[in-house]
Amino acid sequence: MMEHTVEKEDAMWDETKQKRWNELNERQQQGCLSYEEQSELDRLAAELERAEWATLQHALQRMRQEQEQLKRECDATRSENAALAALAERQQKLLVRARTQMEQLLAEHAALKEDYQRVTGEELVASGPL
């Protein structure tokens, strides 16, 4: 037996119609509907479909709005992630350049120490943290 119910706040479908729907549906299952009762059941079915569709339309509209909001949030997050990835890449390149420069500076310092020792015959004593 097919049971349909619609929210009570739906003015198009009430308890009386629900009861009649159930009665006609039961008679249909028993195979003893008259032509007039079948017509009434068809009218009630159409009314029930309209009531359910109206209820679904509201739910679908809310879901669409939620989906649009989630898409906007997702797009914003993707944009932020892309910006953060670009910043991380810049930071990585800066570190590579800093290491390269540090290696070059240390190599130059070592060359200066060697040149100083060659010229003076003495070891250069660092006055700073090197």
Q: Is the pTM of this model over 0.85?
A: no
- Per-domain residue ranges of the chain: 15-88
48: CB partners within 8 A, 6+ apart: 4, 6, 13, 17, 21
pLDDT at residue number 1: 46
pLDDT at residue number 125: 85
pLDDT at residue number 11: 52
| Cβ–Cβ < 8 Å for 85, 95 | no
- What is the rounded distance in angstroms from the CA atom of residue 13 to the CA atom of residue 57? 16
- What is the rounded distance in angstroms from the CA atom of residue 37 to the CA atom of residue 45? 12
